[in-house]
C-alpha cells in the first residue's frame, strides 16, 4: 500500500512540474526564432574573425619554430603576418608631441 502511495506522489510531482512549466515553455519556443537570430547577429563579428585568428595562430607557431611563414601560408596571408621592414625614412623618425 505504501509503495502505491509513493508512486502516486511521484506521478503527482511530475505532473505538477509539467503543468507549472507548460506556459513558460510555450513562450520560450515561440520566441526561439527571434532569440536565435539575435544570437547569430551578436556572434557574426566573432565568426568572421575566426579565420584571421587561426592564421595568426599558425603564423605564431611557425615563428616560434623558426620556419618562414611562406612554407605553410598562402602568399596573401603571409604578407599580412610577415614582419615589415622599416624604410630608411621611418627608421630615424622622431615623434613630436
Report H helices in the chain.
2-64, 75-81, 88-91
pTM of the predicted structure, to 2 decimals: 0.39
The pLDDT tens digits for 62-86 are 777 776 655 555 666 666 666 556 5
Residue 50, domain extent: 2-83
Q: Is residue 51 part of a domain?
A: yes
Number of domains forming the structure of the chain:
1
Q: Is residue 20 part of a domain?
A: yes
Q: Is residue 92 part of a domain?
A: no
Inter-residue contact 59 to 69 (CB < 8 Å)? yes
- The confidence score (pLDDT) of residue 63 equals 73
pLDDT of 92 higher than 90 = no
The pLDDT tens digits for 24-47 are 999 999 999 999 999 988 888 888
**Closest alpha carbon to 72 in 54, 83, 59, 82:** 59
**Closest alpha carbon to 82 in 58, 59, 61:** 59
Amino acid at each position: 500500500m505504501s509503495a502505491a502511495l509513493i508512486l502516486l506522489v511521484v506521478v503527482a510531482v511530475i505532473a505538477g512540474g509539467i503543468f507549472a512549466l507548460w506556459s513558460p515553455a510555450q513562450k520560450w519556443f515561440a520566441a526561439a526564432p527571434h532569440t536565435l537570430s539575435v544570437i547569430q547577429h551578436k556572434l557574426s563579428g566573432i565568426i568572421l574573425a575566426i579565420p584571421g585568428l587561426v592564421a595568426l595562430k599558425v603564423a605564431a607557431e611557425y615563428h616560434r619554430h623558426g620556419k618562414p611563414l611562406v612554407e605553410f601560408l598562402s602568399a596573401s596571408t603571409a604578407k599580412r603576418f610577415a614582419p615589415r621592414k622599416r624604410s630608411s625614412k621611418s627608421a630615424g623618425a622622431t615623434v613630436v608631441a
